[in-house]
Structure 1
Amino acid sequence: MSDDGAGDRPGAPARRLLALVGAHREEVRAGLGEEQYALLLARLAALADTAADDDRAVRVAFQGVRVLLTRLPLPYDHPVHLALDSDRLAGVPPGPATVTDARELASLLTDASAAGPAGGPGADPDAGADPDPGPGTVLGAHERLLRAPALPADEARARCGGAAPPAELIRLPDPLGREHYPAFQFPPGDGAPHEVVLEVNRLLLADIDPWGAAAWWLEGNTWLGGAPASLLGRLPDRELVGAAATLVEED
């Protein structure tokens, strides 16, 4: 994988980001944790399987990778963080070579994953683990999101006219395998899902990363001045869509 950084050629910033992820793969894996790291591999595989000549599909698939990487707890001056914040990453779309780079990076990270946890080959993933994960862990974050008001699967289906809820709706599985549909996605009382929620969820790739989409809606948002879910009906729909579009750099 080459770090094609000369000028603002199509795909150069995207290719640089992928190259940096490969170069700092151990930090990326440790920062994301096993569950989010597996999701990164899945998103890279989706990008790698995209038709290289389909510009929009490549852009959307790359956005899925980039949005996940924004959750890395990296120092502000870390090369990956700087690449993610680069204005050029937003201004220059990924090019066809980005698909090839994603394929190579997915292979590199998969090989690293097969070698064992980030602690080294054969390391025990439970060694030194905290038996009571705190709020900063993936498990703790999921527990907080599951505590939000939600509809069970049968009620969500009823709200959708008896049909299967659309893929854009956020559905969060609990430890028993039951699906929870965060209640903010529906109007109070009765009725089908909010159209603006479905539109934003498409931008947030909620069908691929429902936890990330739920966190965007339910946690504080400095751009909007509050949790987006609490602002439904209080802010114009366009402002909510714009805030989500800004996050994923959608045109």
Structure 2
Amino acid sequence: MTPDAFLALLHTHWPMTLAALDGDRRARLRDGLRDLAGAGDRKSVERALRTLRQQLRALPFDHPVARELKVTVRYAPAPAAPTVDRALLGELLDVFADPPPDPGELLRTAHERLWRTPALDPAELAPEAADDPASAGLIRLSRSGAGDRYPRFQFVPGTAETRPVVRRVNHILMADKDPWGAADWWLGGNGRLAGVPAELIDTVPDEDLTRAALELVGGR
């Protein structure tokens, strides 16, 4: 994983990443990003990346960033004249304005991104899905006062029929217990698949999606 790929991974899951860390680690993560912004040679880039990786080790094992770093353990060496995506780096650092980021607000930001994805309402579900809408086969995102939404990628285009591969993967991801985490896996970048899983349905073999999910949970 190159430095820019690492920054892109953080950018995709930034609010959820910060919300999962305590205040000290968020501050060290900020310092690592600032060091990376000021790095002018290969050694200083690699030193800043080491600082960032050390803080990310505290993420829960099933966090999307932790999962990706587990699959792509090694980082490509920084070039002698490093080029870091300054726009991405600036957006990551923008979060650290005064006052310090509030974990609850960060998590709400992450959930808002997932909530805005195209979705079906419960009344639009096919009969077989409506029979058990809380099953692990479907991601159901719920908000107090706003009802439930079922991300659209889970269904065959133009229908309300659930895609078989989505049901298999959602069972693996235990979507009934952690629907937001399952949605983030589908809608975030995935290093193993080199893309966003939800956008790769019908493009890559179903077995590849299933295998990527199994790798995440340790093959169970």
- Scaled to the shorter chain, the TM-score interval is 0.5 to 0.7
Regions of 4+ moved over 2 Å: 27-32, 74-85, 128-131, 158-162
Q: CA RMSD in A?
A: 3.6
AA partner of residue 54 (structure 2): D
| Stretches of structure 2 lacking an aligned partner (at least 5 in a row) | 1-19, 26-50, 71-98
Contact 2:21 2:59 in 1 (8 A): no
**In 1, Cα distance between the equivalents of 2:194 and 2:201?**
13
Name the TM-score, length of structure 2 as normaliser: 0.54
Deviations 1:113-136, CA, capped at 9 Å, x for gaps: xxxxxxxxxxxxxxx6879x87xx
Secondary structure, in 3 states, of the residue corresponding to 2:133?
coil
Partner residue of 2:133? 165
Count of residues paired in the alignment: 141
What amino acid is aligned across from residue 164 of structure 1 in structure 2?
D
Once the two structures are TM-superposed, the CA of residue 159 in structure 1 deviates from its matched residue by 4.8
Residue 224 (structure 1) aligned with residue 193 (structure 2): yes
Aligned to 1:181: 150
1:31 positional shift: 8.4
Asked whether the equivalents of residues 134 and 140 of structure 2 are also in contact (C-alpha less than 8 Å), the reply is: no
Cα separation, 2, equivalents of 1:179 and 1:83: 26
**Higher relative contact order by CA 8 Å / sep ≥ 6: 1 or 2?**
2
Q: In the TM superposition, what whole-angstrom CA distance separates every residue of 1:126-177 from its partner, at most 9, and x where no partner exists?
A: xx6879x87xx11001001011000001112x35265232512101113414
3-state SS, counterpart of residue 135 of structure 2: coil
Determine helix, strand or coil for the equivalent of 1:76: helix
Change (3 A) 1:79 1:187: closer
Residues in 2 aligned to 1:241 and 1:187: alpha-carbon distance in whole angstroms: 17
**Other-structure match for 1:76:** 53
Cα deviation code 1:192-223 (max 9, x no counterpart): 21111111111111111100100000111121
Identity of aligned residues (%): 39
Find the residue that maps to 1:230 and give its secondary structure.
helix
Distance 1:234 1:80 in 2: 33
TM-score (normalizing by structure 1): 0.48
Match of 1:144 among 107, 113, 127: 113
Structure 1 gaps of 5+ residues are 1-26, 33-73, 90-127
Helix, strand or coil: the match of 2:120? strand
